[in-house]
Structure 1
Amino acid sequence: MAKVVESIDRFNSSVRTLLILLLLIAFSTVSYYGYSIYHEKEIALAAKDKEIEEKNVKIGELEDEIDQLALRLKLLKIDRRVARMKVLSQAKPEGAERVQTVLQFVELDQHGTPLSQPQKFTIDGEMVYINGKVVKFADELVEAADPLRSASICLLQKIYGEHQTPAQGFAIDKSGERPEVYGVHEKPTEFEQKLWENFWEIANDPDKAQQYGVRSANEESPGMKVKQGKQYEIEIRSSGGLTIKVLPNEVET
């Protein structure tokens, strides 16, 4: 009999323990869901804040990429002044068949300052052509603002009129020498010297051109039908070639 009572007590104890455990589990579950429901807004808000923060980080990264792209595009579009000319007179001399144009011409540095005293040229005709050797560098060098190769460069050679051949034109820069405007060092570097001395060799050798970072090397001769009293600027774009544009009348030479 005593063993039976002891067994019943032991069973009841186990049942009570199980019930207590079940109650604890139920209480924990109810508490968790109650906490979740009570703090549902706070939890959702925290999740939203985290999502917004992650999106802001991505936006910041995209803005950096956009800024870099904008800078690269800007570098590719930069125009550099290389020379300026002013039409001093334009008339047909007595006994002449055509109009003669007298020009004042001066090369400029990167700040627009004259490199030397202006030169005077008498051109046969009204159309003026500027002939120069142009070196265009690889876009990645321009984008990276390479100290020497961040912009196309040119060696101005001749200026002539519509009724003259380039060979009859007036010499501007000395052939095979580096223009002063591109002298970023006190003395020409080996790179600069070789570039101008071996211009046509580089132009005709893709491997050598790649070695120098050159995209293309060729001669260009933009022309402009000029008018008396007008001033014109010769420019070169970072990734492009020579252009001639008219200046406002109030600009002083």
Structure 2
Amino acid sequence: MFKTVNAINSLLGTILSLAILTALGAGGWFAYQTYFAERLNAEKELQAREAKIAGLSQDLEAREKQIERLDQELSDSHEQIDRLEVDLEAKQRQIERLDTAVRLLKVDHRVAQIDVFSQEGSAAGGDLVTHFTFAEVDGQGNPLEKPRPFRIKGDLVYVDSWVVKFTDEYVEMGDPLRSTSICLFRRVFGEAQQPAEGFVLDPVGSQPAAYRNGGKMSDLEQEIWARFWEYANDPGMAQKAGVRAAHGEAPFQKLIPGKRYKVTLRASGGLSFEPPEDLPPDAKPASTAGTL
């Protein structure tokens, strides 16, 4: 009986031990599973975060490269703008220079005026005579000499002159000696007279009216007037002096009593008559006049 009880106790102890061991094993397994599951999840989460960080890093790197590219494009744009501004300034200066050159080329200088006071006779009767005065003037239209009176047959007057035109380069630059054409008035005559019979205005070798009141004729002008026809007929000689053309001109105009006719000289051209204007009240005819 005693042995049976011991056997039963031993069996129960064994069963209890097995139960305890089983419980411990199950608990350990559960703990193991829980630990490694959490660790696995943590590793997965860490990997996900690392992948996300890697993606963000790549995105950041791409953005940095984009920023660098945009910075370079912006820098290139600024450089291009600077170049364009420099080019614009250069073109603006060129435009201003050309505008100035064109303006200078088109400048008209008053050089003389004709005041017409009266006419006698008639064209139909063939005895028409026109009374007028001629005077060289400055740029403001002020006479440089006492107006000289003349009478011509008919009503057409010719103003014979020598004209020297300089190359546009000198005119555009505003060269002090060659910035405008120059002229020397030779004579005036009517349509019924021969040019050689006209009234002499500035004899060859004399000082033109423009220089009689203290002005000084430059050495170049003295040389040109003294050797005018040589310059007119020798291209090489003319080129060295910057002369584009040298020739005679005789613009003519129909005269109407009570009118003032201004003769102008274009900086790059020749002589011309402006449309007439009424004589001012203080204009007076001279007492004596030459007649043709």
With the shorter chain as reference, the TM-score category is: 0.7 to 0.9
C-alpha displacement at 1:249, in angstroms? Answer: 2.6
Q: Which one of the candidate residues 233, 239, 259 is aligned to 1:204?
A: 233
> In the alignment, is the contact (CA less than 8 A) between 1:230 and 1:246 conserved in 2?
no
1:158-177 Cα offsets, whole Å, 9 max, x none, are: 11111111111111112223
Partners of 2:83 and 2:260 lie apart in 1 by: 56
Partners of 2:184 and 2:71 lie apart in 1 by: 70
**Where does 1:152-167 land on structure 2 (aligned, <5 Å)?**
152-167=181-196
- For the pair 1:230 / 2:259, whether they are aligned, the reply is yes
1:78 is matched with which residue?
Answer: 107
Aligned amino acid, residue 34 of structure 1: R
1:176 is matched with which residue?
Answer: 205
- The 3 A distance-change label for structure 1 pair 45 and 85 is same
- Structure 1 residue runs of 5 or longer lacking an equivalent are 1-24
Partners of 2:211 and 2:171 lie apart in 1 by: 15
- Structure 2 residue runs of 5 or longer lacking an equivalent are 1-53, 284-292
- The 3 A distance-change label for structure 1 pair 159 and 186 is closer
Query: TM-score, length-normalised on structure 1?
Result: 0.79
1:198-235 Cα offsets, whole Å, 9 max, x none, are: 11122111121122211111110001111111110011
- For the pair 1:245 / 2:274, whether they are aligned, the reply is yes
> In the alignment, is the contact (CA less than 8 A) between 2:136 and 2:209 conserved in 1?
no
Aligned amino acid, residue 223 of structure 1: F
- For the pair 1:128 / 2:157, whether they are aligned, the reply is yes
1:93-122 Cα offsets, whole Å, 9 max, x none, are: 8xx732111002111123322111111110
Aligned amino acid, residue 126 of structure 2: E
C-alpha displacement at 1:246, in angstroms? Answer: 2.2
Query: TM-score, length-normalised on structure 2?
Result: 0.69
Say which one has the larger Rg. Answer: 2
Residues paired across the two proteins, number: 228
- The 3 A distance-change label for structure 1 pair 251 and 33 is farther
Partners of 2:258 and 2:59 lie apart in 1 by: 93
Aligned amino acid, residue 130 of structure 2: T
Question: Which of the two has greater helix per residue?
Answer: 2
**Where does 1:52-71 land on structure 2 (aligned, <5 Å)?**
52-71=81-100
